[in-house]
Amino acid sequence: MDSLGIGLIGTGFMGKCHALAYGSVKAVFGNVPETRLEVLCDVPADKANSFANQFGFARGTDDWKDLVADPKVDIVCITTPNKVHKDMATAALYAGKHVHLEKPMALTLEDANAMLALSRETGAKTIVGYNYLHNPAFRHAQKLISEGAIGRIVHFRGAVDEDYQADPELAWTWRATKADAGLGTLGDLGCHLISLATGLVGPIESLVAETRTVHATRPMGEGALERRDVENEDIASALLTFENGVHGVISTSRSAWGRKSYIGFEVHGTEGMITFDQERMNELRLYQNRGPLAEQGFKTLLTGPAHPPYGQFVPAAGHQLGFNDLKVIEAHEFLCAISEGRDALPSFKEALHFEAVIHAIAESGMTGTRVQIAAI
């Protein structure tokens, strides 16, 4: 193919991240199809036109259906609020477009299953925005595990926390409703941790969990007396059993003061341990029980060109990659999958497993019972 036209719906945090990624992926990697930034959608129209000019798109529109129908658009990037993901992705698939969708796929597992079935029926390529999977440090952790650097894996422990909902007087938003957001911290943060856990250990078989809403109501605006209920969870914790028998413990909170983008995990093996903290995203820590006891200890691996694809961005170790760079790697993965005729990672299939797990955590939190994860 000569080139692929990009259509972007949404201009917020992740919308800008997508625009930067597709605008620079060719310069960073080289070995991808040419991309054209064709159509940007937001409301109202003047906002769409302004951001189209800022981000370098050929035109703006305030009608996402117009974007999906445009014959110049080959890839539809969806970075909108959760409740419209399903409708937009479904329309794009029916129109024969490839879909780059920010998580979650949908508000319900029923809708997410239908989206996977439709993608298989149309043959379109899909990818979901689990950008932490593309961190060179994470990829090196996968490599170390596959090579047996810490022996047989026996336990996974992880947490993902932020404090954007820690203040009880923070105004109510759509994120507090099941109809607009679906799950709370599980859908926003916990799914990222599940993606990392399965990427390191494998699919999850069953779990038992607890969930809590920390702040039951929120004011309808700054200083407002009227308050509205928070319908989804602020905190969730779960005991996991992976399909390979490994045990795991995870927790997630959107009400953890001081945490900004904390995604920490430990992978315990019979011969050592790997640890990671997303707030120090260019470092991986490795412990191996080798050599004299007096000299054993954790060593810090600082990512550099020896950890692909770090070297595509900068030729010197220690200069560090950032959050937006992970989306460039994700865009590269998607463009290569399209040009090579293979599935991208994570496609709707993998993302559906992540979402099946977080919905199982929510179910277990309500029933207090262990929940089996259905095979995809």
Structure-block tokens of residue 309: 């694809």
Q: What is the pLDDT of residue 375?
A: 85
- 311: closest CA among 321, 324, 322? 321
Q: Domain range holding 13?
A: 3-131
Q: Tell me, yes or no, whether 321 lies in a domain.
A: no
Is 339 a domain residue?
A: no
Q: Which of 101, 131, 161 is the last residue of a domain?
A: 131
> Do the domain assignments include residue 82?
yes
Q: Is the domain of 361 the same as that of 287?
A: yes
Let me know whether 204 and 229 are in one domain. Answer: yes
Q: Which burial class, exposed, middle or buried, applies to 142 when counting CB atoms under 10 A from its CB (0-12, 13-18, 19+)?
A: middle
Is residue 88 in some structural domain?
A: yes
Is residue 337 in some structural domain? no
Residue 71 burial by Cβ neighbours in a 10 Å radius (0-12, 13-18, 19+): exposed
The total of structural domains in the chain comes to 2
What's the pLDDT at 30?
Answer: 95
Same domain for 103 and 117, yes or no, is: yes
Same domain, 264 and 118: no
From 39, 15, 42, 37, select the one nearest 25 (Cα to Cα): 37
Does one domain contain both 52 and 172?
no
Query: What is the DSSP annotation of 286-335?
Result: EEE--S-GGG---EEEE--TTSTTHHHH-SSTTS---HHHHHHHHHHHHH
The pLDDT assigned to 140 comes to 98
Contacts of 244 (CB under 8 A, 6+ apart): 153, 201, 202
Among 96, 112, 131, identify where a domain stops: 131
Q: What is the pLDDT of residue 1?
A: 58
Q: What's the pLDDT score for residue 147? A: 98
Would you say residue 209 lies in a domain? yes
Specify if 157 maps to a domain. Answer: yes
353 CB contacts (<8 Å, ≥6 apart)?
A: 198, 203, 204, 373, 376
For residue 326, tell me if it sits in a domain: no
Look up the CATH number of the domain holding residue 119.
3.40.50.720
Same domain membership, residue 281 and residue 265: yes
Question: Quick one: 49 and 189 in the same domain?
Answer: no
The amino acid at 147: E
Question: What is the domain-level CATH number for residue 180?
Answer: 3.30.360.10
Last residue of a domain, one of 99, 116, 131: 131
What separation in angstroms does the CA of 35 have from each of 31, 39, 64? 12, 12, 20
Are residue 221 and residue 307 in the same domain, yes or no? Answer: yes
- Provide the token pair at 144: 């170390």
- The pLDDT of residue 11 is 97
Sign (positive or negative) of CA dihedral 112, 115, 121, 123: negative
For the chain (376 residues), the mean pLDDT of every run of 10, in chain order, is 92 97 97 96 98 98 98 98 97 98 96 98 98 98 98 98 96 92 96 98 98 96 92 97 98 97 97 97 97 95 98 97 98 97 97 98 97 91
Let me know whether 112 and 223 are in one domain.
no
Q: What was the pLDDT predicted at 112?
A: 97
Which tokens go with 78?
């969806």
Q: Which residues of 187-225 are buried (b: 16+ CB within 10 A; e: fewer)?
A: bbbbbbbbbbbbbbbebbebbbbbbebbbeebbeeeeee
Considering the domain architecture, whether residues 145 and 244 belong to the same structural domain is answered as yes
Q: Are residues 169 and 95 part of one domain?
A: no
Same domain, 140 and 217: yes
